[in-house]
DNA sequence: TAAATGTTGTGGCAAATGCCACATTTATAT
DNA sequence: ATATAAATGTGGCATTTGCCACAACATTTA
């Protein structure tokens, strides 16, 4: 298991846990479909390595990208309720390694007096809380009413994380437009204006506040 | 404790748990400030009864409503990372009853061999997963690029939940505009157009798909 | 019952945004 | 090294959306 999920768990404990929970480890190649969402099964997936994303397609063939996942992210029906009329599946963007846990098995009291159980669930709780943080951040940004405010809110967040005056955003401007939910050319225009007004300096993914 | 948090926990167990976790129960009157977010403390709040909301104010006095809470919702710094430059606090919208748990105490292994510990955390995990579901739904709706699509996505979700042809949305049109992150009069205009095009029928909060 | 407050509904106009087409640079694959 | 694809950057134009002001109706309070 990875560092996030095995916080405070020793190697011997780990082996007992694996015996107890029977987690499934799986590998996927970039482009592969990892899992299709169902209304029945409650799989808990945890990304160990690589990148994946959740996409939804409706009857008209319109598709929406709903979430992007990197290592330590949790996913599954439990966390993302599917919208009516969409088919959902998770696909690998890069080569991925993933752990699956079954919700019912994970959550039900352990037959063995298993001290690791509590630790696993508490780690899972922590990962889920982090997911909630990321979603809340995204919502706060989308709640901003103009492209300018969305962009500045995002940039200030990234700058605050790095602490540096000059910083680089962790995605392309194409992806940023998608994340901010705005048209890419409109985003470029806004960046141009901010530069003209002397509010920031930028070159491709690198930004500096003035 | 309430039905969500005490799933599968008997009354005797409950008393032992209360002794073990020392949760704080507090009541608030409508309008009161419940808690101010800090970067240090990690309180886990759970709404037992009533309604509350998280609001943020920046230096310019602009404020954003970031989340609305009802019973069974969890809140706290752990779940909602504050944006740089905003002050955050939770305020009661209606009279509220709230449980507080301290994260570190909740998450750390119990001194007593406490079987309830695992159950509490697993319930907390479940609540957090549900929060994540609600946030994901909201994000999916905001990801729609037009007012029409946002509105229809929301209405289809509500209709899917009730199963009825004619259904009532659980908030005012003022709040709906806020939730969809669009101007209220623009929302009204869009509803008018959808009616004119024969796509739906509506009167105030009541809608019917045709 | 009256007054005050909140919600729903409409219309005009200005501003912000999206859409499209294209040039240029950078990264990737063969 | 070259071809291909992906990302960045710009400009014009149409459309959507937001903003504002106001009327009608509903709900709560005095």
Q: Between the CA atoms of A53, A56, A62 and A63, what dihedral angle is there, to the nearest 10 degrees? A: -10
What is the phi-psi region of residue B121: left when phi exceeds 0, alpha when psi lies from -120 to 50, beta otherwise? alpha
d(CA A9, CA A119): 8
Residue A118 touches chain B, beta carbons under 8 Å: yes
Q: CA nearest B127 in A: which residue?
A: A125
Instruction: Answer whether A28's CB lies under 8 Å from A75's CB.
Output: no
| Tens of each residue's pLDDT in chain B, 210 residues | 443 455 555 556 566 666 677 788 899 888 888 888 887 778 899 998 888 999 888 877 777 778 899 988 999 999 997 787 888 889 898 888 898 988 887 777 665 556 677 778 888 899 999 999 999 999 999 999 999 999 999 999 999 999 999 999 999 999 999 999 999 999 999 999 999 999 999 999 999 998
CB-closest option in A79, A122, A139 to B133? A79
d(CA A28, CA A97): 6
- Rounded to two decimals, the pTM is 0.91
Give the CA-to-C1' distance from B189 to D20 in angstroms: 15
Per DSSP, which regions of B50-196 are E strands? Answer: 52-58, 63-69, 74-75, 86-92, 96-102, 166-168
Instruction: Answer whether B96's CB lies under 8 Å from B50's CB.
Output: yes
CB-closest option in A124, A129, A156 to B78? A129
d(CA B52, CA B28): 10
Give the torsion sign (CA, B166, B171, B175, B179): negative
d(CA B182, CA B167): 22
How far off is chain B from A123, nearest CA to CA, in Å? 9
d(CA A199, CA A164): 16
Which residue carries 């809608």 as its tokens?
A: B207
| Tens of each residue's pLDDT in chain A, 210 residues | 443 455 555 556 566 666 677 788 899 988 888 888 887 778 899 998 899 999 888 877 777 778 899 988 999 999 997 788 888 989 998 888 898 988 887 777 665 556 677 778 888 899 999 999 999 999 999 999 999 999 999 999 999 999 999 999 999 999 999 999 999 999 999 999 999 999 999 999 999 998
Which residue carries 């993933």 as its tokens?
A: A98
How far off is chain B from A65, nearest CA to CA, in Å? 9
Q: Tell me, what's the pLDDT at B188? A: 98
B62: number of Cβ within 10 Å: 11
Closest CA to A175 of A165, A187, A159: A187
Which residue carries 């992806």 as its tokens?
A: A175
What is the number of CB-based contacts under 8 A between chain A and chain B?
Answer: 121
Instruction: Answer whether B81's CB lies under 8 Å from A137's CB.
Output: yes
Instruction: Answer whether A68's CB lies under 8 Å from A44's CB.
Output: no
Coil, helix or strand for B82? coil
d(CA B6, CA A128): 20
CB-closest option in B66, B144, B181 to A136? B66
Instruction: Answer whether B150's CB lies under 8 Å from B139's CB.
Output: no
Coil, helix or strand for A119? helix
Per DSSP, which regions of B144-199 are E strands? Answer: 166-168
Coil, helix or strand for A151? helix
Coil, helix or strand for A69? strand
d(CA A94, CA A84): 28
Closest CA to A159 of A167, A148, A149, A151: A167
How far off is chain A from B118, nearest CA to CA, in Å? 5
Q: Tell me, what's the pLDDT at A186? A: 98
Q: Tell me, what's the pLDDT at A1? A: 41
Quick one: tokens of A87?
Answer: 């088919």
What is the phi-psi region of residue A171: left when phi exceeds 0, alpha when psi lies from -120 to 50, beta otherwise? beta
Q: Tell me, what's the pLDDT at A74? A: 94
Coil, helix or strand for A117? helix
Question: Do B135 and A139 count as a contact with CB atoms less than 8 A apart?
Answer: yes
Q: Tell me, what's the pLDDT at B158? A: 96
Residue A43 touches chain B, beta carbons under 8 Å: no
Which residue carries 């669930």 as its tokens?
A: A121
Give the CA-to-C1' distance from A203 to D25 in angstroms: 55
- From residue B25, how far is each of A134, B32, B86 by CA, in Å? 28, 16, 28
Q: Between the CA atoms of A80, B99, A136 and B173, what dihedral angle is there, to the nearest 10 degrees? A: 80
For residue A56, list its beta bridge partners. Answer: A64, A88
Question: Do A160 and B128 count as a contact with CB atoms less than 8 A apart?
Answer: no
Question: What residues contact B63, with CB distance under 8 A and at least 6 apart?
Answer: B55, B56, B57
Question: Do A159 and B66 count as a contact with CB atoms less than 8 A apart?
Answer: no
Give the CA-to-C1' distance from B130 to D5 in angstroms: 41
Give the CA-to-C1' distance from A205 to D9 in angstroms: 13
DSSP run (H or E) holding B3 = none
pLDDT by residue (tens digit) across B65-123? Answer: 788 999 889 999 999 977 878 888 898 988 888 989 888 877 776 655 566 777 788 88
CB-closest option in A110, A133, A144 to B79? A133
């Amino acid at each position: 298991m990875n560092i996030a999920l095995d916080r405070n768990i020793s190697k011997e404990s780990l082996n007992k846990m694996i015996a107890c929970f029977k987690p499934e480890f799986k590998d996927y190649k970039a482009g592969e479909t990892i899992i299709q969402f169902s209304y029945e099964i409650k799989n808990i997936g945890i990304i160990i390595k690589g990148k994946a994303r959740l996409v939804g397609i409706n009857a008209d063939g319109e598709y929406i990208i709903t979430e992007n996942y990197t290592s330590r992210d949790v996913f599954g029906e439990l966390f993302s309720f599917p919208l009516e009329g969409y088919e959902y599946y998770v696909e690998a963007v890069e080569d991925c390694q993933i752990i699956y846990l079954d919700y019912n098995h994970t959550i039900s009291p352990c037959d063995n007096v298993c001290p690791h159980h509590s630790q696993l669930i508490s780690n899972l709780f922590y990962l889920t809380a982090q997911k909630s943080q990321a979603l809340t951040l995204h919502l706060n940004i989308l709640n901003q009413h103009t492209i300018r405010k969305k962009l500045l809110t995002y940039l200030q967040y990234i700058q605050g994380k790095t602490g540096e005056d000059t910083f680089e955003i962790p995605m392309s401007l194409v992806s940023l437009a998608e994340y901010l939910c705005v048209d890419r050319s409109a985003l470029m225009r806004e960046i141009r204006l901010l530069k003209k007004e002397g509010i920031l300096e930028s070159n491709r993914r690198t930004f500096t506040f003035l």
